[in-house]
């Protein structure tokens, strides 16, 4: 059952199905510019009210859904989770904007960088490219992004669309990404029918001045699947009275007019719902005429897929990559690595790298292509597909790997294994992938580097115990520049500092945890469930927790300073910590400082966290230097 509520603060986009030159309130159209809703001296609310007052009930109803009526039709639904996406109906790529748009890594990888500045810059790039495409009629000005949801189970796939399982971390990502975009069922009640949530919390307490939109089947779900209301008109009335402004889908479009005529809901409630939608469009200058003559009118094709934007996509991938394990092998020497083999089903993939909620990227750099920039003679053999249902091509793969100094095995998952509405059943590599790794490792006299593509954890304990496997990298779905990022990390051009956004539990853990258990914290009656962020675990041996990574030992802390919290008046709950980070390694690199708090007597309070993340900062430190 999906009862997901997406709410946007103020970054909204109206999308048109094809380029057009008929702009609302265009100066060359006196028949419309004379109306009050075109009067820029009036408030947005007054302009919106005037516009809505000129619509019939039938016209109003069709503005409550994402594909709104009009000539041309309005399309409100577009996605920009990690770049302009073709999911939804609002973004259109054609020859007017050749080359697509910048595609950043999957959100869960970017969040692993713990870099607030990076998240802000990513949002700014997406916003710039959206405005540029809007100016040529390919997109509008509202995107339903980012998505904020906590990942509750290790084999679930919601992580591809959200940030992490830690509240503060998730919140900080959302704040910065939304800033970048904008700059310049609760308590037994379905979310879309919950007035306490929509009006009470979101509208009144959080002071939302944007609009609230349902997921595409939410209203239909609580009417038809869980029978929360007797009729579809009752379902519509509940949603509108609760404070919903728009329905992704067609449910409100089908039943609102009848609901008004049956006196289930007043037309004034429909008007109030629409007010917020059109206030947003007024604020975004949609009713101010030709966008090329407005504030961002100078943006165009040259501002999409620019060199600067593509470099940021590369940097985002590099900053998120997590070094799960390193036996002193990584990084490899560029000068001494003469022969290299790339093996595995994800070794030369393109679309897999951009994950879900993606669009048309500027370009693809596959892992093979990235590594061939360093070792042009690098050979490739897939060995099998991602599902890896047979060993037919294993002999060819081991033959390629047997003569190489270094074998980079790139495997993991793709959207045939994990995606929205397709959770995994276990944490094991699909099919015979694990055997492929072991066969290659046994056949080569060189070093094996394991590169894992996935948006969720995989049991890689078998590789950690194999002496020939010198290092393990988790790269998620690294975006259009993923191949370059992987190669630069492996061949000493980038020192990875990403922190794993989830714990890498062994399969034995999942065998004891029901997929239906969504608790974020351990409960006394559930002895099998350990707090995900705890560094030690007597029952299982989790790998890659938030508070550990393979390079931590190079960055000891020194000269730390903190006030005495015991004597502090904590009215504002703000503590200042000064932490010194020293780089004892041989190379400059980044380091993520994580601050946790541990409440007292957690065993006495049901559901209390063992530890919780309350702050973080990513710092760059030169070799041998101390940075405060």
Question: Hey, which residues are catalytic here?
Answer: 215
CA distance linking residue 316 with residue 178, whole number of Å: 17
The DSSP letter of residue 398 is: H
Cα 87 to chain centroid, rounded: 14
Hey, which bits of 80-207 come out as E strands?
A: none
Task: Report residue 480 as tokens.
Answer: 């259009």
DSSP string for residues in 209-245: -S-EEE-TTHHHIIIIIS--SSSHHHHHHHHHHHT--
Sheet of 246-247: strands edge to edge?
Answer: 5-7, 212-214, 246-247
Measured between alpha carbons, how far is 488 from 365 in angstroms, rounded to an integer? 12
Are the beta carbons of 68 and 60 closer than 8 angstroms? Answer: no
What is the 8-class DSSP label of residue 105?
P
The SS3 of residue 399 is helix
Tokens, residue 495 = 């020192």
Judge contact between 558 and 582, C-beta under 8 A: yes
Instruction: Say which residue the tokens 């309130």 belong to.
Output: 25
Rounded to whole angstroms, the Cα distance separating 435 from 429 reads 10
Reference 6, options 176, 191, 200, 219; nearest CA is: 191
The 10 Å Cβ neighbour count of residue 310 is: 22
Tell me the CA distances in angstroms from 615 to 149, 204, 552, 566, one per residue in order.
Answer: 19, 28, 18, 19
**What is the rounded distance in angstroms from the CA atom of residue 475 to the CA atom of residue 498?**
10
Q: 427-450 burial string, b = 16+ CB within 10 Å, else e?
A: bbbbbbbbbbbbbbbebbebbbbb
Residue 63 structure tokens: 């503005």
DSSP H helices, 403-481, are 433-443, 461-464
Q: Which residue has the tokens 């710039």?
A: 128
């Amino acid at each position: 059952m999906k009862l997901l509520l997406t709410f946007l603060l103020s970054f909204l986009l109206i999308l048109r199905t094809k380029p057009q030159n008929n702009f609302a309130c265009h100066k060359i159209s006196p028949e419309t510019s004379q109306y009050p809703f075109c009067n820029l001296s009036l408030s947005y609310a007054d302009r919106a009210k005037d516009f809505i007052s000129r619509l019939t009930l039938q016209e109003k109803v069709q503005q409550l859904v994402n594909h709104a009526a009009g000539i041309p039709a309005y399309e409100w639904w577009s996605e920009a989770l990690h770049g302009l996406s073709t999911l939804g109906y609002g973004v259109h790529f054609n020859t007017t904007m050749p080359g697509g748009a910048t595609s950043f890594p999957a959100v869960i990888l970017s969040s692993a960088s713990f870099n607030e500045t990076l998240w802000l810059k990513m949002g700014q790039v997406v916003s710039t490219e959206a405005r540029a495409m809007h100016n040529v009629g390919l997109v509008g000005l509202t995107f339903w992004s980012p998505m904020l949801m906590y990942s509750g189970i290790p084999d679930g796939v919601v992580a591809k669309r959200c940030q992490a399982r830690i509240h503060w971390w998730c919140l900080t990502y959302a704040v910065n990404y939304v800033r970048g975009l904008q700059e310049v069922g609760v308590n037994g009640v379905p979310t879309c029918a919950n007035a306490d949530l929509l009006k009470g919390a979101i509208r009144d307490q959080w002071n939302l001045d944007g609009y609230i939109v349902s997921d595409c089947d939410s209203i239909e779900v609580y009417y038809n699947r869980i029978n929360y209301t007797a009729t579809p008109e009752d379902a519509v009335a509940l949603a509108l009275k609760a404070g919903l402004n728009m329905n992704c889908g067609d449910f409100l479009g089908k039943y609102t007019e009848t609901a008004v005529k049956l006196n289930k809901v007043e037309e004034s409630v429909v008007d109030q719902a629409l007010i917020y939608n059109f206030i947003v469009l007024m604020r975004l200058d949609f009713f101010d005429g030709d966008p090329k003559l407005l504030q961002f009118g100078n943006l165009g094709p040259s501002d999409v897929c620019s060199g600067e934007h593509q470099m940021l996509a590369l940097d985002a991938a590099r900053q998120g990559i997590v070094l799960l394990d390193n036996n002193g092998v990584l990084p490899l020497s560029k000068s001494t690595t003469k022969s290299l083999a790339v093996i595995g089903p994800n070794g030369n993939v393109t679309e897999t790298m951009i994950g879900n909620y993606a669009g048309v990227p500027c370009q693809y750099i596959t892992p093979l292509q990235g590594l061939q920039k360093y070792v042009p003679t690098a050979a490739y053999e897939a060995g099998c597909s991602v599902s890896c249902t047979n060993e037919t091509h294993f002999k060819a793969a081991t033959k390629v790997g047997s003569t190489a100094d270094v074998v980079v095995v790139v495997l993991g998952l793709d959207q045939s294994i994990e995606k929205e509405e397709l959770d995994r059943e276990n944490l094991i590599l699909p099919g015979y992938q694990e055997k492929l790794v072991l066969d290659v490792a046994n056949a080569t006299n060189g070093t094996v580097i394991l590169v894992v593509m996935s948006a969720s954890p995989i049991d890689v304990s078998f590789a950690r115990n194999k002496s020939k496997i010198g290092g393990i990298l988790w790269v998620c779905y690294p975006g259009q520049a993923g191949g370059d990022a992987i190669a630069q990390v492996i061949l000493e051009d980038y020192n990875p500092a990403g922190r794993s956004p989830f714990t890498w539990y062994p399969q034995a853990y999942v065998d004891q945890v029901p997929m239906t258990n969504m608790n974020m914290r351990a409960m006394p009656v559930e002895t099998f469930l350990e707090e995900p962020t705890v560094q030690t675990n007597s029952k299982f041996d989790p790998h890659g927790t938030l508070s550990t990574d393979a390079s931590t030992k190079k960055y000891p802390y020194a000269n730390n300073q903190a006030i005495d919290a015991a004597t502090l008046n904590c009215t504002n709950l703000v503590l200042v910590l000064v932490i010194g980070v020293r780089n004892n390694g041989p190379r400059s690199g980044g380091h993520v400082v994580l601050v946790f708090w541990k409440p007292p007597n957690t065993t006495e309070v049901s559901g209390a966290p063992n530890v919780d993340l309350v702050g973080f900062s990513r710092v760059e430190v030169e070799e041998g230097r101390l940075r405060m």
